[in-house]
Structure 1
Amino acid sequence: MAINETVGAWLSDMRVAHRLTTEQIADAAQKYGCNWHGSTISSMERGGSRADALGNILILLSALNDLTGEELTLADVLGDDFTDGGNALTGMAAALQGKPVHLTPYIYIEPSQGRQPTSAEMRMASRLGVQPPVLVRNVDRLYGHSVDTEAAERAGEGATPQKRGRETRIIEGEVADAIENEPSIMEQLEEMTGEPDGR
């Protein structure tokens, strides 16, 4: 999902959750120097081009903090899709303070056979609070195939849906442990290169 779409969806969810109107948000934002109207907020909610500008995101956060009494942050808006566990936010904080930006390289380990997550894996990723590619990567690392295949193999031929469900719950615990103990980016670099600094 593009940043403007992510911001738009978040903004819409916040507005509805707090029973705010687009006009209320626009009015609250005007004290931060913008000339927004309710139609501007509606456009942002639909993923309009203004929604992905950092200055506009910061104004939205300030306005919504004022209206809701919450202490919303950039991570609340962008979430894990764009913050890489805080890596990009750390870089952004450094950049905003006039410091050099040095992000930790992101290493993507391709899932085996480049497969897409199954429906069961999508649901499991949601329950575990991780992105589907993270879940697939760990499932493939553990079992070499999908959760569905692993549950079916464990349950045995002709197993009832209840038996497969029990096996899936056990697998979910194993996958959660694997995700929690997944090697760090630096450990992955070291493993790939044989060098402590990944070079």
Structure 2
Amino acid sequence: MKEPLPLAAIVGQNARAHRKHYGATLEDVAKSASRLGLRWNTGRVGDLESGRIPATLPTLFVLAQALGEVTKKHVSIADLVWYDGWVELNPSLTIRGETLKESLEGEPVELVARDIHGQVEQIFGIFEDIRRMHQDTWGNVPEELQHKDPQEVARIAATAGVAERRLCKDFSIDPQALAALSLHLWGRSFSKERDRRAGEGANAQRRGRVSRELKSEIETYLESGTERGDGQ
């Protein structure tokens, strides 16, 4: 994945590429943006394309309209922020470009570790510390799960979302323990396995039914571990 870039720089790159591709000039964009209330001149458009203007929502909205007018091609705000790499939103948060684009296309904002720059690597590094700190909650799962490859477990944990957090509460287990269990049972997270079994475009009722089936599989496995004397 490409190196992180500030959002303003990405917007500037995308705006310039779109403008040039369709033969529009800086003056064309400036005039259109000015009519829409931004009072821009060619220098101001140049500043934007160089990443020197903050990518605020009002600016993005007017810019998308202005570019659409001068190129006769529809431009969305999602188009302006798209980047096949990491997007720096502020000094403390850098996320995947795909995640940002999806959120602007209507997907709920629900960041997981893989969406945030550096989070997966941190999970790899602290996995064993977390396991030692939460021996009480790891103790609720069969012992064989405690010896799974830490990096594979971290990979599963990095895709966890709301469904996994609920399961951790229901079964009183640590998120990494749930990730190890999911890896053992399905080779993927609970959410990923639910979506795979439910099928593309499944409705809420179908997804709920599959979720209950998967939860039952977890219960069966944990009960079998108790019968073997594991996790005690």
Name the TM-score, length of structure 1 as normaliser.
0.50
> Which protein is bigger by CA-based radius of gyration?
2
Name the TM-score, length of structure 2 as normaliser.
0.43
Q: Which protein has the bigger strand share?
A: 2
Higher RCO, 1 vs 2 (CA within 8 Å, ≥6 residues apart): 2
